[in-house]
């Protein structure tokens, strides 16, 4: 497991920025490919999911190795991952973008919720998705998928680097999800990215207010007008941001 520990104050910042803003902050640093593609919330939750990645890797299932009795083994990697994912972390599953069989179901996700895990993400699909959507835990997938994971997925190992939705995920990276989707922030960048994203969010909130009041975006977004920069400073003071 990564030695990196996400500080509470950074996490607090990440609770109040969008995945879109984080993508832009990463783009500035040359990272163009950190948004997990074609994955969405099982149900929108309003608030953000923030936590470090705990990963689980699936490979295609070979029939003889994936009969139902494999789950009798307490060390089966899917079950072990669910019991070992640290509280506050996000379980991220590499399902090879294949939603034709499930990555997990409601009982396992309930267990994660009870263990204090922040969320679960797969680039495949969940079964029991209506139940999962009703749970008090963030869950992201491609689409609902009723067949047991054994149909197509062999759970191989956890806590290793993976791909998820065309994004590299290294254990310990910081995962942020909102109602739009999920972004992966490399842990060595998270402090500066969180700080910058919070600043950007203040500016975008100011801009949104200005636009709602009828202003043009030219000169305002980005702030190429001196007047915009002055108005923003006044807005910050007034709003304590």
| Residue 87 within binding range of a second copy, rule CB under 8 A | no
Do residues 100 and 152 touch, judged by C-beta distance below 8 A? yes
Please, which residue, 48 or 118, has the CB nearer to a second copy?
48
* Residue 128 beta carbon to a second copy: minimum distance, rounded to whole angstroms: 5
CB of 122 to a second copy, least distance (A): 15
Scanning 9-17, 93-101, 191-199, 231-239 for contacts with a second copy by CB under 8 A, the matching segment is: 93-101
CB closer to a second copy out of 224 and 239: 224
- Rule CB under 8 A: say whether 14 interacts with a second copy: no
Site for a second copy in 133-162 (CB under 8 A): 143-148, 150-151, 154, 156, 161-162
The reply on whether position 20 binds a second copy by CB under 8 A is: yes
Comparing CB distances to a second copy, the nearer of 9 and 38 is 38
Contact 111, 66 (CB under 8 A): no
Confirm or reject binding of residue 40 to a second copy (CB under 8 A): yes
Contact, 96 vs 124, CB < 8 A?
A: yes
Q: How far is it, in rounded angstroms, from Cα 98 to Cα 101?
A: 7
Q: State the Cα–Cα distance between residues 62 and 86, nearest whole angstrom.
A: 30
Does 216 interact with a second copy (rule: CB under 8 A)?
yes
Closest CB 210 distance from a second copy, rounded Å: 9
Q: Which stretch binds a second copy (CB under 8 A): 5-13, 85-93, 124-132, 226-234?
A: 124-132
Asked whether position 30 contacts a second copy by CB under 8 A, the answer is: yes
Token output for 70: 């494999």
* Residue closer to a second copy, measured from CB, 98 or 199: 98
Give the number of residues in contact with a second copy, rule: CB under 8 A.
83
Q: Could you count the other beta carbons within 10 Å of the beta carbon of residue 47?
A: 12
- How many other CB atoms are there within 10 angstroms of residue 148's CB atom? 16
| Residue 171 Cβ vs a second copy, minimum distance, rounded to whole Å | 12
Q: Which is nearer to a second copy, 118 or 162 (CB)?
A: 162
Angle between helices 106-114 and 77-84 (to 10 degrees): 30
Nearer to a second copy, 8 or 64 (CB): 64
86 counts as binding a second copy under rule CB under 8 A: no
Burial status of residue 69 (CB atoms within 10 A of its CB: 0-12, 13-18, 19 or more): exposed
Under 8 Å between Cβ of 175 and 52 = yes
CB 143 within 8 A of CB 61: no
Nearer to a second copy, 9 or 29 (CB): 29
**Which residues, 6+ apart, have CB-to-CB distance to 202 below 8 Å?**
236, 241
């Amino acid at each position: 497991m990564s030695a990196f520990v996400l500080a509470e104050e950074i996490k607090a910042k990440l609770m109040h920025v969008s995945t879109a803003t984080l993508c832009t902050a990463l783009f500035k640093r040359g990272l163009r490919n950190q948004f997990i593609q074609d994955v969405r919330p099982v149900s929108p939750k309003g608030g953000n999911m923030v936590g470090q990645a705990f990963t689980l890797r699936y490979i295609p299932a070979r029939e003889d190795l994936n009969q139902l009795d494999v789950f009798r083994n307490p060390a089966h990697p899917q079950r072990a991952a669910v019991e070992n994912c640290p509280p506050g972390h996000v379980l991220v599953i590499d399902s090879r973008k294949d939603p034709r069989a499930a990555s997990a179901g409601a009982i396992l996700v309930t267990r994660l919720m009870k263990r204090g895990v922040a969320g679960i993400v797969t680039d495949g699909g969940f079964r029991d998705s209506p139940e999962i959507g009703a749970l008090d835990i963030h869950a992201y997938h491609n689409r609902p998928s009723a067949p047991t994971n054994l149909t197509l997925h062999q759970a191989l190992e956890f806590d290793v680097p993976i791909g998820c939705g065309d994004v590299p995920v290294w254990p310990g990276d910081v995962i942020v999800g909102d109602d739009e989707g999920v972004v992966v922030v490399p842990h060595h960048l998270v402090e500066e990215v969180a700080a910058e994203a919070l600043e950007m969010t203040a500016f975008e909130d100011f801009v949104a207010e200005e636009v709602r009041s009828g202003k043009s975006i030219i000169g305002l977004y980005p702030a190429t007008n001196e007047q915009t920069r002055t108005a923003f400073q006044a807005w910050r003071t007034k709003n304590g941001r």
